[in-house]
């Protein structure tokens, strides 16, 4: 009896190229309109101030962050006055970094070396924004803060949305009980 033949591959191969980029470079791309963070399938800005501050903490601790995933729509887009790169995953992180670079996110001054902070710019609550860092502090953050960067070319908007769904909704969501258990262990309240 003949076996049915396989129809052939029907899934696209996204072939993401990965590297690391300096965070300040990506902030510049956003400011210059080279990269957009708000394609129609993305959720809006949802992070709280605490979540944004925790991202700065993660960078200062040297923790690896989940990579930013972008779709390279080609230089033709840029020539036409539209962003060449569109963020498929990483909007909250990139918006936080942009807000940090704009002096709109603060972090405890003691997360930075003493010579990286201008003591006259520390807020009464002990926090500092990027504007309160010394030139050395700003250079150190610009050189130290790296994030994984995965780029895919040639996707349609529909394929970008599919990739967004796979990356963001492929697992099981953490619950508040999961967060509370980890927080209790982190503070020694087990």
- Segment 58-76, tens digit of pLDDT: 999 999 999 999 999 988 8
Mean pLDDT, all residues of the chain: 90
The token pair that represents 12 in the structure block: 């696209």
- Segment 115-153, tens digit of pLDDT: 999 999 999 999 999 999 999 999 999 999 999 999 999
pLDDT at 183: 82
pLDDT at 5: 60
pLDDT at 76: 83
Tokens 């790296």 found at? 146
Measuring CA to CA, which residue among 44, 12, 52 is closest to residue 160? 12
Q: Using the predicted structure, report yes or no on whether residue 190 has a pLDDT greater than 80.
A: no
pLDDT at 6: 60
Q: Using the predicted structure, report yes or no on whether residue 102 has a pLDDT greater than 90.
A: yes
Helix (H) or strand (E) holding 86, with range, is: strand 85-89
Helix (H, G, I), strand (E, B) or coil at 32: coil
Tokens 């993660």 found at? 58
pLDDT at 17: 86
What percent of the chain shows pLDDT beyond 70?
A: 95
pLDDT at 176: 86
Residue bearing the bigger pLDDT, 72 or 179: 72
């Amino acid at each position: 009896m003949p076996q049915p033949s396989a129809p052939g591959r029907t899934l696209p191969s996204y072939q993401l190229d990965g590297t690391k980029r300096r965070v300040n470079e990506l902030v510049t791309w956003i400011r210059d309109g080279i990269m957009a963070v708000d394609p129609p399938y993305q959720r809006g800005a949802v992070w709280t101030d605490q979540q944004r501050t925790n991202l700065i903490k993660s960078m200062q601790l040297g923790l690896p962050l989940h990579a930013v995933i972008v779709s390279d729509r080609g230089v033709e887009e840029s020539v036409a006055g539209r962003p060449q790169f569109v963020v498929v995953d990483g909007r909250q992180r990139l918006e936080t970094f942009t807000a940090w670079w704009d002096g709109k996110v603060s972090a405890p001054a003691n997360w930075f070396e003493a010579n990286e902070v201008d003591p006259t710019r520390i807020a009464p609550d002990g926090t500092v924004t990027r504007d309160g860092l010394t030139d050395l502090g700003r250079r150190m953050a610009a050189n130290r803060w790296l994030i994984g960067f995965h780029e895919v070319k040639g996707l349609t908007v529909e394929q970008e949305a599919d990739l967004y769904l796979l990356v963001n909704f492929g697992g099981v969501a953490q619950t508040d009980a999961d967060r509370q258990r980890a927080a209790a262990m982190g503070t020694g309240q087990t």
